[in-house]
Amino acid sequence: MADSIAAAAQKHPAPEGLIYQYGTAGFRTKAEVLDSVMTRCGLIAALRSRALKGKWIGVMITASHNPPEDNGVKLVEPLGNMLQEEWEVLSTEMANKATPEDVSKFYHEIAARFKIDLDAPARVVVARDTRASGARLLACVLDGLKGAGAEHKDYGFLTTPQLHYMVRCLNTEGTKDSYGTPTEDGYYEKFAAAFKTALKGKKPSGSLTVDCANGVGGPKLTELIKHLPPKEEALEIFVVNDNVIKPEALNVDCGADYVKTNQRAPPSSKVGPNDRCCSLDGDADRVVFYFKDANNMFHLLDGDRIATLVASFLGDLVRQSGLSDSIKIGVVQTAYANGAATNYVEQHLKLKVDCTPTGVKYLHHAAEKLDIGVYFEANGHGTAIFSVDTLETIAKHEPKSTAQKEALEVLRACIDLINQAVGDALSDFMLVEVVLAHKSWGPQEWLSTYNDLPNRLLKVIVNDRKIFQTTDAERRLVKPDGIQTKIDQEVQKVRQGRSFARASGTEDAVRVYAEAATKAEADDLARKVAEIVKSFGSA
Ligand code: NG1
Ligand code: ZN
Q: What are phi and psi of 352, to 5 degrees?
A: -75, 140
pLDDT at 506: 81
pLDDT digits (tens, 9 = 90+) for 15-61: 999 999 998 889 999 999 999 999 999 999 999 999 999 999 999 99
Q: Are 400 and 322 in contact (CB under 8 A)?
A: yes
Which amino acid, one-letter code, is at 206? G
Which residues have any ligand 1 atom within 6 Å of their CB?
A: 24-25, 64, 336, 358, 377, 379, 381, 504-507, 511
Q: Looking at the CA of 283, which ligand is closest?
A: 2
Alpha-carbon distance 284 to 509, whole Å? Answer: 25
| Segments in the chain below pLDDT 50 | 1
pLDDT at 1: 46
Q: Closest Cα to residue 210, out of 124, 140, 278, 121?
A: 278
- 25 Cα: distance to centroid of ligand 1 (angstroms): 9
| Neighbour-count burial for 439-461, b at 16+ CB within 10 Å, e otherwise | eebbbeebbebbebbbbbbbebe
Q: What are phi and psi of 409, to 5 degrees?
A: -65, -40
Alpha-carbon distance 389 to 322, whole Å? Answer: 16
Active site residue 499: no
pLDDT digits (tens, 9 = 90+) for 432-452: 999 999 999 999 999 999 999
pLDDT digits (tens, 9 = 90+) for 489-509: 999 999 999 999 999 988 889
pLDDT digits (tens, 9 = 90+) for 78-110: 999 999 999 999 999 999 999 999 999 999 999
pTM: 0.96
Residue 283 assigned to a binding site: yes
Alpha-carbon distance 412 to 293, whole Å? Answer: 34
Q: Are 110 and 116 in contact (CB under 8 A)?
A: yes
Alpha-carbon distance 326 to 344, whole Å? Answer: 23
- 319 Cα: distance to centroid of ligand 2 (angstroms): 33
Active-site hit among 64, 104, 279, 427:
64
Residue 379 assigned to a binding site: yes
Q: Closest Cα to residue 202, out of 428, 445, 413, 420?
A: 413
Which domains are assigned to the chain? 2-157 (3.40.120.10), 186-301 (3.40.120.10), 303-447 (3.40.120.10), 455-537 (3.30.310.50)
Residue 356 assigned to a binding site: no
